[in-house]
Structure 1
Amino acid sequence: MPVAMTVDIVGSRRLPDRDAAQRALDDAVARVERDLPVAERPLRPTVGDELQGVFTSLDGALATTLLVQLALPDIVQCRFGLGVGATGLVASASGDIPDGPAWWAARAAIDHVHALEQRTVPSARTWVVAHDEEPDAAHEAARRADLYLLARDQLVGGMSERARRLTYGRCFGVTQRELAAQEGITQSAVSQLLAASGAAAVVEGFGLLEP
């Protein structure tokens, strides 16, 4: 079940340092790709503030969106549109162009999450849409993923930058003692921050994914 992903930067035109934001995003994506190399076509900038990539499974795409959010510093936030469907290439004199139903669904997904963010759910950052021609199972998987994402993004959106760093580490089994040493704080402080931020639920959800 191929999943196309489109990513854009929240409020990119209002950022005081667009170059710094792009560097931070590039660094976050590179880190996630090292730690969880599940992309069929890795996320890469396309034009303006967008990145695109392709994943072989929905779980892999969901795990990637979580880790990128956790890896990003406060200066930049992203939206993620995930489209379930067929992907293909259109021949062009300048090289093959990615196209197909999954990309159309990814665009619809990112438009939807932007609308949610602007209206009823300011914390929304990620959405999944299955193309109309996909089987019922794909639409049900997308619906269940969106239920998960609404809660997950709410938790991640409320975290401080340090809490996100700690949560990222816990997703990969880094101990609280090790995290405390990295942050220069006590293990007790790490434990309290993880508990207060709801990190345990985010880490447990990550562990249930099968990228």
Structure 2
Amino acid sequence: MSIAVIADIVASRQLVDRAAAQRRIARVVGDADRDLPVARQPLEAVVGDELQGEYDRLGDALGSLLLVRLALPDGIDCRFGVGVGAVRPIELDGRTVPEGPAWWAARAAIERTARLQQRAAPFARTWIEAAEGEDAAMVDTISLANAYALSRDQLVSTMSERTRRLTYGRCLGRSQRELAETEGVSQSAVSQALASAGSAAIVEGFAALTRGARS
């Protein structure tokens, strides 16, 4: 089983400088992969504003994607489709092309994310789909993961850029004092920002997702 991820840029056509946005996303992805090196294949641009990546565990993928969202600046956001299933890479003209049910599921998932944004959940940025034929236990796990992702995306989407940076730091175990010094604010200001944004739930969720990867 593999975890395939397709990402694209939200409202990319409205960006003044799409190339600059893509470069910034690439830097953010690189930083997230350095801070949580769990990707089998880190997200990388493939065509237009689309990125693709691959992970071994669902928790690894969701933890990595959380760091990416937290690190993105205001004005740049991504949505993610996560597919769970088999991957069968094929050789084509001397290069390996990702293929298989996990990728088909990821494509369906990102399309579902876009639909959710338009109607039921404007702040939705992540959806997970199981490939056809996955067992009932995995389907149940994915249902729970989607409930978590919707709630997480709601919190992250309403945070300020600074609060996202602070939450990122707390996910990595940095103290409030250290974060305050980096931001040039008081520790009390950091504590208040994190508390008002519900960051503690995000941090605890990140720890639960990545406990095995970071132990």
What TM-score, normalized to structure 1? 0.98
Deviations 1:45-80 (A, max 9, x none): 000001101100000001011110001001210001
The aligned counterpart of 1:149 is: 149
Measure the CA separation in 1 of the matches of 2:97 and 2:12. 25
Measure the CA separation in 1 of the matches of 2:73 and 2:168. 12
Query: Is 1:41 matched with 2:27?
Result: no
The aligned counterpart of 2:103 is: 103
Deviations 1:182-205 (A, max 9, x none): 000010100000011110110011
The aligned counterpart of 1:18 is: 18
The aligned counterpart of 1:185 is: 185
3-state SS of the aligned residue for 2:5? strand
Deviations 1:163-195 (A, max 9, x none): 000000000110001000000001010000001
Query: Does the Cα contact within 8 Å between 1:87 and 1:102 map onto a contact in 2?
Result: yes
For 1:90, the aligned partner's letter is I
**Cα RMSD for the two superposed structures:** 0.8
3-state SS of the aligned residue for 2:89? strand
3-state SS of the aligned residue for 1:96? strand
3-state SS of the aligned residue for 1:88? coil
- Structure 2: any 5+ residue segments left out of the alignment? none
For 1:105, the aligned partner's letter is A
3-state SS of the aligned residue for 1:46? strand
The aligned counterpart of 2:32 is: 32
Measure the CA separation in 1 of the matches of 2:164 and 2:67. 9
Deviations 1:128-187 (A, max 9, x none): 000111111211111110010110000000000000000000001100010000000010
Deviations 1:71-122 (A, max 9, x none): 1001210001000000011221141211000000000000001000011100
Measure the CA separation in 2 of the matches of 1:76 and 1:7. 13
Measure the CA separation in 1 of the matches of 2:200 and 2:49. 32
Measure the CA separation in 1 of the matches of 2:94 and 2:12. 28
For 1:111, the aligned partner's letter is E
Number of corresponding residues:
211
What TM-score, normalized to structure 2? 0.96
Alignment of 1:185-204 (within 5 A): 185-204=185-204
Query: Is 1:60 matched with 2:44?
Result: no
3-state SS of the aligned residue for 2:66? helix
Alignment of 1:87-102 (within 5 A): 87-102=87-102
Measure the CA separation in 2 of the matches of 1:158 and 1:75. 13
Measure the CA separation in 1 of the matches of 2:13 and 2:209. 34
Task: Show structure 1 runs of 4+ deviating over 4 A.
Answer: none
Alignment of 1:60-139 (within 5 A): 60-139=60-139
